[in-house]
Structures are given as structure tokens and as C-alpha cells.
Amino acid sequence: MKVDKASMLLYAITDRAWLGDNSLGEQVEQAIKAGVTIVQLREKHLDFEAFVKQAKEIKKVTDRYKIPFIINDNIEVALACNADGIHVGQSDMTAGNVRSLIGEDKILGVSAQTVEQAILAEKNGADYLGVGAMFSTSTKLDADAVTFDTLKAICTAVSIPVVAIGGIGEHNILKLKGSGIEGVAVVSAIFAQTDIFAATERLTALANEMVEV
């Protein structure tokens, strides 16, 4: 499975901090039913076996709805659960090294904060870029801010899809209109909401409005 621009519209990144009474798989399914187009499983504190178990559970859901499933940062887990791809940051190994390990058929996403990083990532085999943080975010306190102008310049400089990330929600998503991005990646805007389905439906509508030229 490879990504196209349509699959980048609403990119959900998981966070088990707000599970409540539902399993993560149930939350992900609600989000997909309401419009999420791609899912990334991000786990910083699970051991390998628990991470793989959780990944396989989520992949059953994404396979059912035929949308891409991405693992954050962990190549071993991505290969063990046969995820559709992996997303890596600038502090992780280079995109070229990751590509050599996962093969040509897997999706490779790379975080970028500058035009130079974006161009290098594309050159090294990235299929899409995650650019941010666009706004202040509670889920990644060490994220550096990226300006709207830089986001726009990155979109102009590369031919692969770009998604914006970082503090994006219903209140500010339309501020990204005209930047050239294919979509937005969100965490709390979906998974911290009491009604995940309704929140995702509203975000989907706003994302569609944002990407309209």
C-alpha cells in the first residue's frame, strides 16, 4: 500500500492517555468511520511484545477499512506487525537508512521543520512529510514551531504529500488554508474528545474545506 494525497486528509495519531471505557481499537474504528484516512500508532512506553500486540489489533481495524497503518519510530515493530509503513523524526536514523531496512513497498513518513530537511527526506525515499509544530501542543512539548511561510515553502519545494501537525484542532485548522498541504495530523483533537465520532466528522469537514483551492 502506498499513500496518495487523498489518504493524507485526516491523519490520526493515537494516544492511550484518553482511553476511558473504550479500547484503542474501538476509538480508532470510531475515528475511521467518521472520516480519518490514515492511522499512526504512537507508543513511547510499551515494551516490544505489548507494542506488537497493540499494533496487530489496530491493523485489523485499518485493514477492514482499507486505510494505511503507520508505526511511529519503531522499525522492528513495524515489520513484526506488517504495518503499511513507518514514520520517523529528524533525530532518528536517516530516511535513506530506514528505506533500506523496510524495503520499497512500505510507506515512509518523515518529520521536517525546514525546506532543506524536506528536500533531503524526499531525496532519501520519503513518501510523505509531517511538518510542525504549527501551533503549541501538549502532546509534544519539545516540538519546535514552524511558521506558515515555512510550511508553504516546504509544500512548494517537494512533490510528495505534506501534512501539518502540532496543536491543530477545529479552532485553528482553517488558518492553514492556502499553504499547499494535503491534510493535517491530529492527536487530542480526536482522541481527547468525549464523542470521537462527532469530533472527527467536524474535523473531516473542516479539513476538506481547508484543502480546497
Q: Which residues are catalytic?
A: 42, 111, 140
Task: Label residue 142 exposed, middle or buried (CB < 10 Å: 0-12, 13-18, 19+).
Answer: exposed
Supply the angle between the helices 24-33 and 48-65 in degrees, to the nearest 10. Answer: 30
Locus of grid cell 471505557:
21
Residues 6+ apart with CB under 8 A from 174: 206, 209, 210
State the sign of the Cα–Cα–Cα–Cα dihedral 178, 107, 41, 194: positive
Q: Give exposure, 37-52, as e/b (b: 16+ Cβ within 10 Å).
A: bbbbbbbeebeeeebb
Helix (H) or strand (E) holding 50: helix 48-65
What is the spatial distance between Cα 58 and Cα 25, in angstroms, rounded to a whole number?
5
